[in-house]
Structures are given as C-alpha cells and as structure tokens.
Amino acid sequence: MSRLDRYLFQATSLPFLMILICTTAVAWLTQVLQRMDIIVDDGGTIAAFLKITLLLIPSLVGIVIPVALLAACLYILNVLMVDSEIPVMRAAGASRFRIARALLLLGFIAAGAVYWINLDLAPKSHRQLRETVWDVRSNIASSLVRDQVFTDVTGQVTFYAEEVRPGDQYVGLHIYDTRNTERPVTYTAENGLFTVTEAGPRLYLLRGTGQWKDAETGEIEIVRFEETAVDLEGFADGRPVNKPWETSERFLSELFNPDLERPYNQEYQGVFRAEGHARLATPLYCIAFVLISAVVMLSATTSRRGYGRRILIAAAVCALLRIFGFLAQSLASENALFDRVQYGLPLLGIAVASIALINPRSVSSRTLREIEAPTPKREGAPA
C-alpha cells in the first residue's frame, strides 16, 4: 500500500468508525426502549436485560455498516475537494480510480464484516437472545409472582399466592386457567411448587380443589385432589425444541434447506429462501456505495459553491438502490425470479459506477456536470 493509499484509507476509516458507532448506538437505544418489558412486566434482572440488549448489536451493525460507509466516503471526499487536495492529486497524475482505490479497500473490508455477521454472528446472537428471554420469562418465582398480587403469567393463566417462599414454593394458591375457553378452570391449593421438567414448566399443587362450570347442566363441578400439576405451556413456546427457529435465527444452510416435513417450514419456505439470498447480496452494497460516491464526487470540478448537490445525488442513488433491494427481497418470497434481482441491483451499481470511474469521458460524468452547471442567462437579461 502506497503512502497515498494509507493516507486516504486512514482518513476514511476514522469517520466510518465514528458514524458506525454513533448510528448503531442510536438504533440500539430504540431497541432497548422496546424491551423494557423484560424488567417492568417480566421482572428480569439488570444483568439479563443488558445481555438481551447487547445481543441485538450484531444484527444492528450488519444493517448500519453500508450506510455508515456511504456517509464516511461522501464526507471525506467532500473535505478533500473543499481543501483542494483532490485537485492536487489529479494534477500530480493520480486517476480517479487511483484515488478511489483506498476507499474501495475499505469497502471490501466492510463487505467481509457484513458477510461474517449475516452468515454466523447474527444467527448465533438471535438464538442466544431467544434462550435468554425464555429463561427470564420462565422463572415466575423470582420475576412475576409477588405476595398477594394477581399476576397474569402466560396471557391465559392468572396466578395469586398468599406467600412466596424461597425455592419456588407458594402458600395459599388461587389459579384461574382460561386456555380452554369452553371450560375455564379455577384451582385453589394449600401449597404449590414450580419446576421446569423435560416436558416444560410445571406447577405442582398440593391439597386443593379444581372448579369449572358444566356446559350442559350449568352447575359448578368441584374436584378435590391431594396432588395435581398445572402445565404452564405458555412458557415453553419460546424454547427452541418446541418452536421452529425464526428467519433471523437460522443459518444459511437452514434457510436454503429447511426440513419440509414440518408444516411451519413448508409455509415459510419462500421467506427463508429470500432471506438467504438477501444475506449473500447485502454485503455487495458496501462496494456499490463506495464506487457510486467516488464517481459522483471525483467527477466534479473545483467549485466555490460547494458540493452539496453532488452529495445529495449520490445519497439519493444509493438510497433508491437499497430500497429496490428491500422490495426485491419482499417479492422474492413469492416469486423466486426476484432472487436474481437481489444480486443484480448491487452488481449493476458496481458495474455502472466502475465504468464511469475508469472512463473519464463517460456519459454519467458529463451528465453530473450538466446537472451541476449554472443555468445560462438569456440575452438582454439583467446581470
């Protein structure tokens, strides 16, 4: 790497890292606020809450990297143009592609980072996130149940205990179970014990009654028991063994080759395929954004009016390219032909920008100059 490459690479890397950190922090804070229910409703600890929110960072970084790279390239190229450093480089014989080479190297590094996040780090973090949330919500003894407070523990089971004792033990239990809408059941028990078994969470009740209304006679039936168990299946829904992995929790092989014997995988097979191609195509936008920003900014001539219009042009082109990419991913879940479009959009941006960058007399460069040129005055018009 030459001295010029090192200078441009270092000058671009610092703003890229700063923009990446700041943008990721803002996105992370919005996700943190959405998960305050882990503490407020589910009674999770601060440590569990921090672990859950930190596990969100890899997927956020993967989304932010292309945007941060575009902003950093536009920023540093604008600074170098304003300070007349790029005109000096051009006067010394450096071509536009020669100047953009260091930025392109940063683009390849960023693309590699996005590939690593999309294919390995993000699925692992999402799986760990699910397990952590399940652990928090399954521990009703320490998180949900309070002395002499009615608590909705699964959305359809209301729980009340006169006293909560160490070891997940309860005294004076009242439970209202409406999971069977045709026959809601009310349990009362002297004592109870919560435990997690291989079949899922269970609440064992000792010396109590079960009451429900007979649908035919309308009379209340009461059954006394010495010991019974209530299945808290609402807590088991988040366990990986009981629920299929979501799209964000699957690795690439599981997206392209799901187990079609499971109805869930059959229903969402198209979504999985589109997501898999999206993970492979997304890193290409890093390279496309670098080339587009370079061809737009480096084709400019020295101007005292600044380069704000060119920055807007580059940002708009990249934004449209990415929006069409999201649209292609959405349509690909229904039509596999759009999977090719997911790759074609960034590759088209790379090809067009590369041609325009290498060829100093390209049509795109002339078009940009015409857009930026002032409107000529008519004859006889006042000065």
What is the number of other CB atoms lying within 10 angstroms of the CB of residue 252? 16
Assessment of whether the complete model's pTM goes beyond 0.85: no
**CB 332, CB 275: distance < 8 Å:** no
* Model pLDDT, residue 302: 65
Q: What amino acid occupies position 79?
A: V
Place of tokens 């080759």: 257
Helix (H) or strand (E) holding 349: helix 338-358
The ranges of the chain with pLDDT < 50 are: 141-142, 235-241, 363-365, 368, 371-372, 375, 378, 380-383
Q: With beta carbons less than 8 A apart as the criterion, state whether 93 and 83 touch.
A: no
DSSP H/E element including 254: helix 252-256
**How far from the centroid of its chain's Cα atoms is residue 223's Cα?**
50
- Write the CB contacts of 67 (distance below 8 Å, at least 6 apart in sequence): 23
Cα gap 365→357, rounded to integer Å: 8
Would you state the pLDDT for residue 145?
65
Q: C-alpha angle 8/59/246, rounded to 5°?
A: 155
> 269-281 burial by CB neighbour count: b if 16+ within 10 A, else e?
eebbbbbbbbbeb
* Intra-chain end-to-end CA distance of the chain, in Å: 51
Instruction: Let me know: does 195 contact 162? Beta carbons within 8 Å.
Output: no
Tell me which H or E stretch contains 196: strand 185-197
Distance CA 329, CA 343 (A): 10
Q: Report how far Cα 359 is from the mean position of its chain's Cα atoms.
A: 38
Query: What 3-state class would DSSP assign to 185?
Result: strand
